[in-house]
Structure 1
Amino acid sequence: MEDVLLPVLIVGMLFIGLPWLILHYLTRWKSNTGISQQDEVLLDELHELARRLDSRIETIERIVADENPTWKDSRIADHSEQRRALK
């Protein structure tokens, strides 16, 4: 009985299981067309939040620069240090 069952299982897996597995993942891959509408809305909200935060940081830096003339913009200083490190 085992002599017949093992080859039947192997043939079944080769001709039924393997093609089913390949076709299953091919259809899943093709149905994934990109980001969903919900993800796109979230991305837009995050972009707007980042823009507003950047504006707030610039405002704070201008206020600090007005109050303390020797203060140096840390973003400019960090950028110059990175340039020197690359050279």
Structure 2
Amino acid sequence: MDTGDVIGLVAVVALFIVLPWIIMHYVTRWKTAATLTSGDEALLDELYRLARRLDERMATVERLVTADHPEFRPLGRTAPGSDDEPLGELERMLADKKGLRK
């Protein structure tokens, strides 16, 4: 084998074996990094439950204060319960997700 044959062989191996392997390796790593792990999902579920409990507590506190002081209006709200929409949207998303799993 002369030098030209060796260079050609190395080029063919690099083009048809090494290059696709590198591309597939990083595509696989990219796809696995973009997904949530079961630990991430459990943490998100726990954070959602905590947010829900805190929201219920805030509604109770606001209701008690409003009962004592009818002129009281919480900051950022025009009517009681008007900021519940983001949690409602999250609840709809969770219901859709659970419906897809069945």
TM-score after normalising by structure 2: 0.53
Q: Which has the higher helix share?
A: 1
After superposition, the C-alpha distances for 1:22-50 in whole angstroms (9 at most, x for unaligned) are 12112222x45832111111111001000
Higher relative contact order (CA 8 A, sep 6+): 2
Instruction: Please state how far the C-alpha of 1:11 moved relative to its aligned partner.
Output: 7.5
Root mean square deviation of aligned Cα:
3.4
5+ long unaligned stretches in structure 2: 1-9, 83-102
Once residues 33 and 11 of structure 1 are traced to their aligned partners in structure 2, the CA distance between those partners, rounded to angstroms, is 33
Instruction: Please state how far the C-alpha of 1:67 moved relative to its aligned partner.
Output: 1.1
Write out the 4+ residue segments of structure 1 that deviate beyond 4 Å after TM superposition: 9-17
Instruction: Please state how far the C-alpha of 1:10 moved relative to its aligned partner.
Output: 7.7
Number of aligned pairs? Answer: 77
TM-score after normalising by structure 1: 0.60
5+ long unaligned stretches in structure 1: 1-8, 80-87
1:36 aligned residue = 37
2:53 aligned residue = 52
